[in-house]
Structure 1
Amino acid sequence: MIGIVGIVVVFAMVVGGYLWGGGKLGIIFSSLHYEMMIIGGAALGAFIISNGLETIKGAARNVAAVFTGPRWSEQDYSDVLILIYDLLKIARASPIQVEEHIEAPQDSTCFQKFPRILADEKAVALICDTLRAASMNYDDPHQVEEIIDKRLDIQLHHALKPSHALQTMADGLPALGIVAAVLGVIKTMSSIDQPPEVLGKMIGGALVGTFLGVFLSYALVGPFATKAREIAEQDHQFYLLIREALVASLHAHAPNMCVEIGRQCIPGEFRPSFDALDTALREPAAGT
């Protein structure tokens, strides 16, 4: 919702200021369609050339996320801590029994209680792989920590690729605006024998290209890329808290202590209170 507000403010201030200063929208609208075709089409084509299909799909999801916000909610953060608590309690009681949950999470009663987490392959794989590694009795838990850190670094790198691609597009838009403006000047020069009022409109139309390139770059695509990066990093905190809670278990901390360590790693706006989480953990469904 806040993204829509920002877009409305941008257009209201730019268009409103232009009109207040005596500008006329007619000359912009008369050339907007073909200038937008040149700039937008070239930017889209360059974006497709320089990125793979997965990055292109990720960029589309990132643009949508600007309006919908981060993927994980406060409830999801609480749920994943409860899930980890359940699994750690089972692992402490019976290492063999926990294998039933981590080898077939789709059939696990623990995972099935939290369908949003179960639907996320990365979260499920991180939990199951770490618990599986713990069951192998590594001599040094730091070995598992190192593996998890490398895994999460790669995961974050891939999550940020779409926002990087959008930022690259934003950086190129002003230059594409100049391309459109130069083409407009070329068209104007071919009509140099026309009266000044005709040439003035043609030059004004050419300058619309420069305006569009700069406007799209700094007022729309650039901010979208920045927000997409922020959301990707915020969503990554969900996996970092899983990491912290499970790493704590590798050092033989009690399940409730592991969960508290994970809770402390949650961003403030999503962090459940200690009492709220403690109450959720004490419910009959937890740990059964």
Structure 2
Amino acid sequence: MIGFVGIGVIFVMVFGGYVMAGGKMSIILKSLPFELMMIGGAAVGAFLLSNDMSAVKHTAKDVGKVFKGPKWKPDDYRDLLCLLFELIRLARQNPVAIEEHIEAPNDSTIFSKYPKVLADGEAIELICDTMRSASMNYDDPHQVEEVLEKRMEANLHHAMHSSHALQAMADALPALGIVAAVLGVIKTMASIDQPPEVLGGMIGGALVGTFLGVFLAYGIVGPFAGRLKTVTEEDSHFHQLIREVLVANLHNHATNICIEVGRQNTPAHYRPSFSELEEALKAVKSSGAA
């Protein structure tokens, strides 16, 4: 919702201020379709040229995050901590019993309690692969931690491609606006024999290209890229939480300590309070005992 509000504020302030200052929208509206075709078309073409089809699809899908915001909410972080608590506790009580859950998470009675987490393939793979490593009696937990770190860095790098692609487009738009403006000047020079009022309109139309390129770059596409980068980084905290808890488990800390490590490493605006998490874990214990 806040994204739509932001776009509305941009348009109202820019064009509202222009009209209130005595500007005429007719010149902009007359040139806009042609300038938008040249600038927008060139930007899209350059985007397609510099990215493969998978990156194009990935970016088109990710644009929705600008308006939806981060995927993971505070309740999801609490649920993740509860899920990890159940898995770690079972792995320590009965190492054999945990295998059916990490080998077939979609059929697991534990994972099925947390459908949103289960629907995230990367989160499930991180959990299952790391717990499988723990069951192999790794001598050096730091080795697993290093593997997780590199894996998460690669995942984040891939997830950030959409924001980088949009930022590259934003960087190119002002120059493409100048290209459109130069073409407008060329058109004007070819009609130099026209009266001043006609030439003035043609020059104004040419300058719409410069305006449109800068406006789209810094008013629309650039903020889209920045917001997408922020959302992607926010969502990455969810996977980082998995790493923190499971690495603590590899170091043989008590189960409650492992979960508290995860809680402490959760971003402040998503972090459940100690009492809230304690109540959730009591509910998990009660359901397990039943």
TM-score for the superposition, normalised by structure 2: 0.97
State the AA in 1 paired with 2:232.
A
State the AA in 1 paired with 2:78.
S
Cα deviation for residue 287 of structure 1 reads 7.7
- SS of alignment partner, residue 96 of structure 1: coil
- SS of alignment partner, residue 109 of structure 1: coil
Tell whether 2:36 aligns with 1:36: yes
Alignment of 1:205-220 (within 5 A): 205-220=205-220
Alignment of 1:101-140 (within 5 A): 101-140=101-140
Which residue number in structure 1 is paired with residue 197 of structure 2?
197
User: 2:242 & 2:289 partners in 1: Cα distance?
Assistant: 17
Which residue number in structure 2 is paired with residue 91 of structure 1?
91
Deviations along 1:53-102, whole A, 9 cap, x unmatched? 23222222332111111000111111111110010011001111101000
Q: Which of 281, 284, 287 is equivalent to 1:285?
A: 287
User: 1:118 & 1:52 partners in 2: Cα distance?
Assistant: 29
Deviations along 1:25-66, whole A, 9 cap, x unmatched? 000000100100100011011111111223222222332111
Deviations along 1:188-242, whole A, 9 cap, x unmatched? 1121111111111111101000000000001111111011101100000000011
Alignment of 1:238-249 (within 5 A): 238-249=238-249
Please say if residues 63 and 224 of structure 1, whose CA atoms lie closer than 8 Å, have aligned partners that are also in contact: yes
Please say if residues 280 and 286 of structure 1, whose CA atoms lie closer than 8 Å, have aligned partners that are also in contact: no
Please say if residues 167 and 225 of structure 1, whose CA atoms lie closer than 8 Å, have aligned partners that are also in contact: yes
- SS of alignment partner, residue 22 of structure 2: coil
Please say if residues 89 and 287 of structure 1, whose CA atoms lie closer than 8 Å, have aligned partners that are also in contact: no
State the AA in 1 paired with 2:276.
A
Which residue number in structure 2 is paired with residue 260 of structure 1?
260
Cα deviation for residue 286 of structure 1 reads 5.4
State the AA in 2 paired with 1:160.
M
Which residue number in structure 2 is paired with residue 63 of structure 1?
63
Q: Which runs of 5+ in 2 are unaligned?
A: none
User: 2:249 & 2:59 partners in 1: Cα distance?
Assistant: 36
- SS of alignment partner, residue 285 of structure 1: helix
Which residue number in structure 2 is paired with residue 180 of structure 1?
180
- For the aligned residues, what is the CA RMSD? 1.1
* Percent identity between the two aligned chains: 61
- SS of alignment partner, residue 138 of structure 2: coil
- SS of alignment partner, residue 23 of structure 2: coil
State the AA in 2 paired with 1:270.
Y
